[in-house]
Every structure is written in C-alpha cells, then in structure tokens.
Amino acid sequence: MRFGPVWPLQTPIPTPTETATEVATDIGGLLPFDIPMWVVNIGESLIVVALAIIVSRILVRLLGRRVARQFRRPSLTRTALRGIRAGVYIFALLTILNIYGLQLGDIALSVTVFTAVVGVVLAPILGGLISGVFLLADQPFEIGDMIELVDTGQRGFVEDITLRHTKIFTLDNTFLVIPNGEIRQRDVVNYSAEDSRTRLSLDVLVTYESDIAAARTLIEAAAREVDNVISGGPDIRVGAARYPASPTVYINEFADHGVLLTLRYWVTEPYKLLAARSRVQTNVWRRLEDADVEIAYPHSHLYFDDTSGEMNVSLNDGLSGLNGVGRTHAASGDSPVPPRQDPDDLADE
C-alpha cells in the first residue's frame, strides 16, 4: 500500500483587525449592529473608573472611624484615607491598562526608563514627599492648631497637612500653601500645642517722682478689666515652672529716664492677641491719666556754668540779628573765646 505525500495542516492566523472585529461582533451579537472594539474598551474603562470611585468611598466610610481611633491625629487619619483611595485608583489604572493590552511587565519597564530619564525633575517632588513624611512623624503642629511664621509674622490655623504641602488659613481670611520641604526649615510658633492660653507682656516707664506702688496696682486692675484676660485662679504650669494666672506687675529696671514696670498677663484666645493688647493699653492709659503717676519719656536738661564758656550775641538794625545769619558766636570747653567787641563797632561793620 503506497501513501502519498503528507502536507501539514495550516490554519490561518487571524490578524489583529480580524480578531478585534470578531470580538466586537460577539459582544454586539445581541444588537442588530456591530460595536467597534475601541468603543468596547472605552465602555469597560468607564465601568472600571465608576467602580473605583464607588469602592473608594465605601472603604473610606467603613474604615474612617477605625483609622481615626487608631491614629488619633487628624493629619495621619487624612493621610491614611488618601492612601486607601490612591491604592484603589492605582488598581483601577492597572486594570484599564490591561484592557488595552498592556501587561504589568511592560508597564514596569516603561516606568523604569521614564524614571531614569526624568529623575532630575522628580527629585524635588520626592524631596517634598519625604519632608511630608517627617513632618507627620515629628508632629510640630496638627490640623486645627494656631501657628505663627516667625520670619513673616503671619498667623493662622492649620487647615490641612498632606505629603506635599501644608495649608494655613490665616487670620486675614486668606489661604497660605507652603511646601513641606520649606516649612520644615522655618521657625514656627504653635499657640495650640499644649495649652491655648498665651502670656503677653507690656512695659510701662514711669518717672521716679511717681507713686510706684499705686502705679503697679492701677496697671494690674486695668488688665483685669479686659474680657479675655485671665483675672485670677490657680497658677499656670509651663513645664516645670509655675506662673501666677492673674495680671502681675514687676519692677523690671531702674532706667535712665524712670522706673521700668513690666506687666505680665495671660490671654485665653490666641487669635485675639492684638485686640487684647490694645484694650489693656487703653485701660492703663485711662487709669494712669488721673492718678499721681506720670509716664516717663526720654528728655534732657542742659546746664550752663562758668566752665561752659561764653556766648556773645549781637543785634544789627533792630531785630535783624535774629535771622540766624552767622552773627551769633558760641564757644565752650577749652576752645578760644573771641575778644569782646563794642556793639557800636559791630554796628558800623
């Protein structure tokens, strides 16, 4: 029995266009018309995006309270919830890329090449993210705290802390956004870290002839009249030190022009420091105005005696010598004294 030549069975390989058309035809089999493949991909991508948004919101609602109880800090809680959302969105992005035929290995290779090319551009961004991590770990301030930037004098409440920046709602009703890498290098005063009560000082210089005891009593009473000034109570503890809660006046210094009195008082609301200081100063001025207390100011007294030299004054043509034109001569100390001249001789010149 003789067999003829055996030819291998070849099956035609469908082209990408044919495969896409067949898949599109299968998907649209229930419809009287065919659906293009790119429309199907867009539809699937939109479904993935919608599911990602819904799932992220559900996870935030389910895990929000647990995360808040775990960290007990608003900034860390918000960062953790942002991380959950970011994880869901990254998974959705990888799913969409897989829909369009991109595999994870291709994506990793592309990201590696891209990072190597734009590493210099991404360096500041990565530096800011690292600064944000250290800022959250160091806890210099928290969301809701009132802080002050020492170099600019701007005050406000911390509105939000992210890995990239810190948002401050200033007392001037403006937003201030500062990168974390920059704010970590600046001096920041936190008025709400442990206790919102803030101590202020006021220097008052009174003359030596004033009644110092009465001045101290009047100044302390003037500070107590302000609403948000603590008028008394137990001592306020700052670290290992304790300070009186009521306004207190100290004799700070015996200065050149008077006695320097320093008033120390506590304010309950740190965002009203300027208003409290203004009211205290107004009350101090009002109380000292009618009392036997005089506010000192820099002044000087000049004394002339026999050792001070001589000064000759001459008048020409009535009061014309008062015009200040070089007719008045003065000498003091060891300087030579000009010879005395007759006024009649001077008038003839």
Lookup result for tokens 């030190």: 241
pLDDT at 247 over 90: yes
What is the residue type of 336? P
Tell me how far apart the alpha carbons of residues 198 and 43 are, in angstroms, rounded to a whole number: 60
Give the CB-side neighbour count of residue 256, counting CA atoms within 13 A: 5
Beta strands in the chain (DSSP E): 146-149, 154-161, 165-170, 175-179, 188-190, 198-206, 236-238, 241-243, 248-254, 259-267, 311-312, 329-330
What is the residue type of 347? A
Report pLDDT for 19.
44
- Paired with 147 in beta bridges are 156, 190
Backbone angles phi, psi at 112, to 5 degrees: -65, -45
Report pLDDT for 33.
60
Tell me how far apart the alpha carbons of residues 337 and 114 are, in angstroms, rounded to a whole number: 90
Residue with more model confidence, 108 or 257: 257
Domain map (residue ranges) of the chain: 23-117, 139-190, 198-289, 306-348
345's CB contacts (< 8 A; 6+ apart) are none
CATH number of the domain at 139-190, please?
2.30.30.60
Residue with more model confidence, 150 or 322: 150
CB 68 within 8 A of CB 77: yes
- Paired with 177 in beta bridges are 167
Please tell me if the domain spanning 139-190 has the same topology as the one spanning 198-289: no
| pLDDT, mean of residues 14-42 | 58
256's CB contacts (< 8 A; 6+ apart) are 298
Backbone angles phi, psi at 282, to 5 degrees: -65, -45
Highest mean pLDDT among 30-34, 69-73, 137-141: 137-141
Count CB atoms within 10 A of the CB of residue 280: 23
Residue with more model confidence, 87 or 324: 87
pLDDT-derived band at 17 (thresholds 50, 70, 90) equals very low
Q: What class is the 198-289 domain?
A: alpha beta
CB 273 within 8 A of CB 226: no
Report pLDDT for 85.
83
Three-class DSSP labels, 324-339: CCCCCEECCCCCCCCC
* pLDDT tens sequence across 149-204: 988 888 899 888 887 888 999 888 888 988 888 888 888 888 877 777 889 999 99
Instruction: Reduce the DSSP state of residue 301 to 3 states and report it.
Output: coil
Residue with more model confidence, 37 or 48: 48
Report pLDDT for 136.
67
Token pair for 26:
């299968």
**Burial classification of residue 293, based on how many CB atoms lie within 10 Å of its CB (0-12 exposed, 13-18 middle, 19 or more buried):** buried
Looking at 57-71, 87-101, 112-126, which range is the least confident one?
112-126
Instruction: Reduce the DSSP state of residue 303 to 3 states and report it.
Output: coil
Lookup result for tokens 């002339």: 304
Give the CB-side neighbour count of residue 7, counting CA atoms within 13 A: 3
Report pLDDT for 116.
61
Give the DSSP letter of residue 152.
Answer: T
Count CB atoms within 10 A of the CB of residue 146: 23
Count CB atoms within 10 A of the CB of residue 52: 19
Highest mean pLDDT among 34-38, 91-95, 266-270, 338-342: 266-270
* Nearest CA-CA partner of 187 in 140, 122, 236, 247: 140
Give the CB-side neighbour count of residue 159, counting CA atoms within 13 A: 14
Per-position DSSP letters for 112-141, written without gaps between them: HHHHHHSHHHHHHHHHHHHHHHHHHHH-S-
